[in-house]
Amino acid sequence: MSLIEVTTSHNIVVRFELASVLQRIIASLVDIFILISFTILFAFVARDSEVLYWIILFPIVSFYSFFWEVFNKGQSPGKMLLRIRVVTLTGRTPLVLDYFTRWIFRFIDVVLTFGTLAIVFISSSGRSQRVGDLMAQTAVVKKRNENSITLSSITELDKEKRLENEEILYPDIAAYTDDDMLLLKQSIIRYRQLPNDSNKKVLLTLADSIASQLRINLKDQPKLKFLDRVLYEYILITR
């Protein structure tokens, strides 16, 4: 199992499992099958209309992967089926330019070489990147299991017991993301299950980082208690 660590804009490190070469090949084959099926159907309906070919078929076939990744959060139908997606190595949400760069170089490492160059690069690079990924600073990773823990299931908060006018101490916590908070909760759980120096250091680093970004002086406040409160307030604000 190959892993990469991505640092988010809030200096929180998120660990992803890289998609395997086989997964990416199968995803590509699924997309190719969809394109071939669509082309056959189009040829039957359009009946060799050259105008319709240039207006409809050519753009769809050419920009298929680009449009899907832009409008479907880094996933084509093949990637959706294999539960893999595109992420950036910088931790931010991929931009249209990132997807466009991957798409441009797709003609080199996928189309012109029938995928051979892509397979070579994915198999030999440390982050399983083809040429397009290297140029765009992206990687293809496995999506989290939908049955894994979610914020709503791990907060252990009873909505009926929340106070309607409860004071929010850290309103700026809303700038964080669900992924940030999931990682925070997982780190807290890991420390409580195994309170060794390594897990403690992770929590202390997270507490200092969040406190610094929110301009909070922790003083003598226990850092674990602070992190619990941060997670609690994030749920109150965002849910």
Kindly report, residue by residue over 210-237, the tens digit of the pLDDT: 988 888 888 778 888 888 888 888 887 7
Same domain? 109 vs 37: yes
Domain that holds residue 72: 3-142
| 210 in the same domain as 118 | no
Do 168 and 99 belong to one domain?
no
Q: Quick one: 161 and 228 in the same domain?
A: yes
Assess whether pLDDT exceeds 50 at residue 24: yes
Query: In terms of domains, do 101 and 31 share one?
Result: yes
Statement to judge: residues 138 and 226 lie in one domain: no
Per-residue pLDDT reduced to its tens digit, 91-126: 788 999 999 999 999 999 999 999 999 999 999 988
3-class state of residue 48 by DSSP: coil
Same domain, residue pair 135 and 197:
no
pLDDT of residue 234: 84
Final residue before a domain boundary, out of 98, 116, 142: 142
Measure the CA–CA gap between 135 and 129, rounded to whole angstroms.
9
Q: Which class for 216: exposed (0-12), middle (13-18), buried (19 or more C-beta within 10 A)?
A: middle
Give the gyration radius of the chain's Cα atoms. Answer: 22
Do 135 and 24 lie in a common domain? yes
pLDDT at 239: 62
Pair (61, 170) in one structural domain: no
Q: For residue range 132-144, list pLDDT tens digits in order.
A: 999 999 999 998 6
- Give the end of a domain, one of 110, 142, 174: 142
**Domain identity same for 19 and 89:** yes
Confidence of residue 162 (pLDDT cuts 50, 70, 90): low
Please give the Cα distance from 154 to 157 (Å, whole number).
8
Number of domain units in the chain: 2
Alpha carbon distance 45, 59 (integer Å): 17
Measured distance CA(144)–CA(153) in Å, rounded: 15
Domain boundary among 92, 119, 142: 142
Return the sign of the alpha-carbon dihedral for residues 230, 236, 237, 239: positive
Please check whether residues 127 and 29 belong to one and the same domain: yes
Look up residue 79 and give its two tokens.
């990637």
- My answer on whether 47 and 80 are in the same domain is yes
